[in-house]
Structure 1
Amino acid sequence: MSILNFGSKAKAETVDPMVSSMIDGWSIEVMPRTAAKIEDFRAILPEGTRVYVAHIEGTPIEDMIGTAKRLHEEGFDVMPHLPARGISGKAELEDWLKRYQNEAGVKQALLLGGGYASPVGAFTSSIDMIETGLFDQMGFERLHIAGHPEGNKDIDRDGSSKLVDEALMWKQDFASRTDAHVAIATQFAFDAKSVTEWAERIQAMGVTIPIHVGVAGPTKLQTLIKFAIACGVGPSLKVLQKRAMDLSKLLVPYEPTEVIAGLAAYKAENPNSLIEQIHVFPLGGINPSAEWMNKNGSIRKLAKVA
């Protein structure tokens, strides 16, 4: 096993140390079909990176488990998505968890409602899955839940946050009584202020769960706007639209520098904030996102088979 290092004198002179510190410990999300295009994740991701495996509607569970197994064998912490509305009930959930554990060494998961038009079975939310007790029974060590700093149009259709807040407080209670490590992984955002204000609001409600803030990796601006509209983000969409009006930036790929710098500055001024680290959505591709994070983060080792 040989070790490759990112880091150079030029890097140290150009990278904001506050941004670098905020990036340290970042995680990334992949899908089975995008992961299949990467020859060896050890060549592009730092050792021990947490890799979420997104379960998009229509993806066979065999593909999910196969991707999880491969990433586990390459030495990464694998966190598959579990979409409640795409799981028929307790029996299927138990089957999936056993397969993830036995075939891919998985001990953590991101619990989601899932973007299905209608549930395929009895589950309608992540709470339904938690209430089965299977995660505690099967010794899952880490459970992440979804966070929506700019709202969730699938739940609170009237634009309020009432139902989302109630669900979050239920999960806060669960987090306080489980042995598993719980964290909130948020939807991607392009406006740091919307994230920090939301983090302050839920902390004032009594939430103590750490937040992993979602950001988009380097991507064409047009692609980001398309995703932002589809996901219903609010203040972030305005940030992108303003950028699109600047002709000097229109043809230049978006990079998450500004939003991460804003989060880093806020965290430096508010050390007790729930904001803990960055989670990357590689909307413009896994390689560009990994390259940008490695370049702008603190120096971390990449494990690569010689």
Structure 2
Amino acid sequence: MIPSDMSSLASFLTSGYSLEVSVKAIPALITATPRIAPGTSIFIPYLAGEDNAARLAATTTVRGLGFEPVVHVPARRIASLEALESFLTRAANDAGIERCFVIAGDSPSPKGRFADSVSLIETGVFERSGIKHIGVGGHPEGHPVMSEAIRWQVLARKCHSIQIRGMSPLIVTQFSFDAELVLRWLQELRQRGIHHPVRVGVPGPASVATLARYAAMCGVSASASVWSRYGVSIGRLLAAPGPDGFVDRLANGLTEAHGDVSLHFFPFGGIAQTVEWMEVHRARGHSSPA
């Protein structure tokens, strides 16, 4: 969706956005359910200290709330193909899961025989389990171990591998504070002939300290100039800035050439705060003259 005015911006903000919700945050999601559109994609990350039973319970709850569960599958944390297939089969039977987000994962060494997402996708385990859509990572800010050329090659290979297996690729980017950088990355993505839907990662409202911590963990640029463009004031470090400036600049910079683009929220400051921000920003768009 390409916004051309404030009314269109309001629709862009709420049409097809998705949320990252950990197993521990499921109670908060339940509380916020009346304020979230039915069918919203809820990504469930794979976190240390949680077992498959907890992940399966979260997936089933998400489906029961009327949302679309999207399970993270980090290749390096998969002990065996059989264990993954068993989990996916249960998730399909119990929660009707059709979507996964497949990444290499941040583990320094593989737990099993899969070192990256491509090797896992190419096993055929996902289509055998009834998965119809697979998300893969996009990296506008770069990648810690891959050069730019290799990064583009790997992304193209992953999308091709998903397609030839009869599934639909989706690209989900790491969050960023720099809308212009993301727009340039989207433009290059399309110029390279990769035209699959993209969900752009957006940090939900959170304290500056929280945003800085996640940025450091994820290798996201947070220089003084980037902070300033994002809306962080050095004199207001205790504030909890929202992504107003980032989202507005992203939306205003999108053209037809950028293709199918929507938002994926990381609710670092909490689900309630992110949903409230969405409501306020949407209302601002609807109340502004076209």
Normalised by the size of structure 1, how large is the TM-score? 0.84
Alpha-carbon distance between aligned partners in 2 of 1:107 and 1:49, rounded to the nearest angstrom: 14
Q: Which residue of 2 aligns with 1:196?
A: 183
**How is 1:276-291 mapped onto 2 (pairs within 5 angstroms)?**
276-291=261-276
2:246 corresponds in structure 1 to 259
Provide Cα deviations, 1:124-158, integer angstroms capped at 9, x if missing partner.
Answer: 111111111122222212111111110121x32xx
Deviation at 1:298, TM superposition (A): 7.0
Taking the TM superposition and a 5 Å limit, the aligned residue runs for 1:1-306 are: 16-24=6-14, 25-153=16-144, 155-156=145-146, 160-234=147-221, 238-240=225-227, 244=232, 246-247=234-235, 249-267=236-254, 270-297=255-282
Paired residue type of 2:272: N
- 8 Å CA contact 1:225–1:241 kept in 2: the answer is no
Shift of residue 194 of structure 1?
0.8
Unaligned runs of 5+ in 2: 285-290
Q: Structure 1 stretches of 5 or more lacking a match? A: 1-14, 300-306
SS state of the match for residue 252, structure 2? helix
1:134 is matched by which residue type in structure 2? V
1:80 deviates by: 0.9
Q: Percent identity?
A: 29
Using the TM superposition, name which of 184-193 and 204-213 deviates more.
204-213
Supply the distance in 2 between the matched residues of 1:97 and 1:90 (Cα, whole angstroms).
11
- Structure 1 residues 150, 236: CA separation in 2 closer, same or farther (over 3 Å shift)? farther
Return the alpha-carbon distance in structure 2 between the equivalents of residues 176 and 298 of structure 1.
38
Q: Could you say what secondary structure the match of 2:257 adopts?
A: coil
Q: Which has the higher contact order (CA 8 A, sep 6+)?
A: 1
CA distance in 2, matches of 1:298, 1:61: 39
Q: Contact 2:32–2:272 (CA<8 Å) still a contact in 1?
A: no
Q: Is the Cα–Cα contact under 8 Å of residues 21 and 298 in structure 1 kept in the other structure? A: no
Query: CA–CA distance in 2 between the matches of 1:259 and 1:114?
Result: 27
Structure 1 residue 186: Cα displacement: 0.7
Describe the shift of the 1:254–1:245 C-alpha distance in structure 2 as closer, same or farther (beyond 3 A).
Answer: closer
- RMSD of Structure 2 on Structure 1 (CA): 2.2
Cα distance in 2, alignment partners of residues 173 and 43 from structure 1: 38
- Count of aligned positions: 278
TM-score (norm 2): 0.89
In the alignment, the residues of structure 2 paired with residue 176 and residue 82 of structure 1 have an alpha-carbon distance, to the nearest angstrom, of 18
> What residue in structure 2 maps to residue 11 of structure 1?
none
From the superposition, tell whether residues 189 and 111 of structure 1 become closer, same or farther in structure 2 (CA, over 3 Å). Answer: same
SS at match of 1:43: helix
Aligned mates of 1:283, 1:272 — CA distance in 2: 31
Of 122-131 and 160-169, more deviation after overlay is shown by 160-169
Task: Answer yes or no: is the 8 Å Cα contact 2:124–2:165 preserved in 1.
Answer: no
Instruction: Kindly indicate whether the alpha-carbon contact (under 8 Å) linking 1:221 and 1:250 is maintained by their aligned counterparts in 2.
Output: yes
Contact 1:189 1:236 in 2 (8 A): no
SS at match of 1:188: coil
Change (3 A) 1:264 1:39: closer
1:50–1:298 CA distance, 2 compared to 1 (3 A): farther
Change (3 A) 1:68 1:223: same
Distance in structure 1 (CA, Å) of the matches to 2:177 and 2:134 = 25
Conserved? CA contact 2:202–2:243, under 8 Å: yes
Change (3 A) 1:203 1:262: same
Matched AA of 1:57: A
